[in-house]
Structure 1
Amino acid sequence: MMMQPHHAALIRHSFDQIAPVADEAAALFYRRLFEQSPELRPLFIGDVRQQGRRLMEMIGAAVRLLDHPAALLPVLAQLGARHAGYGVEPDDYRKVGRALIATLAEALGEGFDDATREA
């Protein structure tokens, strides 16, 4: 299914707001994730700051490919396969999604309206 153009625009706009403070946003994300789902902490080995940078780079790459699902979907499938090898379970993605939404809501404030949340 192709993403609606207005959703892609909202996602790009919200990422543009977060990108200048990517390190802080990533730190907030991991803080939220580990507060909401402490059982996921053992899945993260190594420097969380470095993982945060990789997270923001991956999100940025995905945002750039929103209009090109043929290029984006294989990248996401490969990422999912790699994470399965780390022990990530399907329900963990929902937990990560909740932490990401909470991070965006906090970081964007009033800019994170219902339309942006839906996108």
Structure 2
Amino acid sequence: MTPEQVKLIQDSFSKVASISEQAAVIFYDRLFEIAPSVKAMFPSDMTEQRKKLMATLAVVVNGLSNLQSILPAASALATRHVSYGAKPEHYPVALLWTLEKGLGDAWTPEVAAAWTAAYGTLSGHMISEAYGKPQAAE
């Protein structure tokens, strides 16, 4: 990711953060729509899970300018995902879809490319750490 892409991600995330509760609902609704089998991995009351999602995203977004600083946390998260029963195919692009919906007109081709690059880098790292081989998220 270029410094310009990092800035685009951070600037666009500040808009999403202002609607964080709604964005988290949209994310999980989409996730369960495209990967219904993962719903059983989550509690019935998603309130805390939605807060954790947005807090984790904030840490990642704020750390993108120093990617090496967030990779250990991403590795730990990937390992926890395995213990919950997550598989590589459970790394869908619900996040990108959510951002597109949440940002509306601010989801420009440049913003989309920046988020896609960041998502590919981080999900690829997490899958590699969790399963021992690089794989692209679907």
Q: Write the distance in 2 (CA, Å) between the matches of 1:85 and 1:46.
A: 19
Residue 101 (structure 1) aligned with residue 109 (structure 2) = no
**Consecutive unaligned residues in structure 2, runs of 5 or more:** 115-138
TM-score (structure 2 length as normaliser) = 0.79
Matches within 5 A, 1:79-98: 79-93=77-91, 95=92, 98=93
| Alignment-mate amino acid for residue 111 of structure 1 | A
Deviation at 1:46, TM superposition (A): 4.4
Partner in structure 2 of residue 23 of structure 1:
21
Q: Write the distance in 2 (CA, Å) between the matches of 1:110 and 1:70.
A: 32
Q: Report runs of 4+ in structure 1 exceeding 2 Å deviation.
A: none
TM-score (structure 1 length as normaliser) = 0.91
Aligned length: 114
Correspondent of 2:46 among 42, 45, 48: 48
| Alignment-mate amino acid for residue 110 of structure 1 | D
Q: Write the distance in 1 (CA, Å) between the matches of 2:109 and 2:97.
A: 13
Q: Write the distance in 1 (CA, Å) between the matches of 2:82 and 2:43.
A: 15
Q: Write the distance in 2 (CA, Å) between the matches of 1:69 and 1:32.
A: 27
Partner in structure 2 of residue 61 of structure 1:
59
Percent of paired sites with the same residue: 34
Deviation at 1:21, TM superposition (A): 1.0
**Consecutive unaligned residues in structure 1, runs of 5 or more:** none
Residue 4 (structure 1) aligned with residue 2 (structure 2) = yes
Query: Alignment partner of 2:43: what SS?
Result: coil
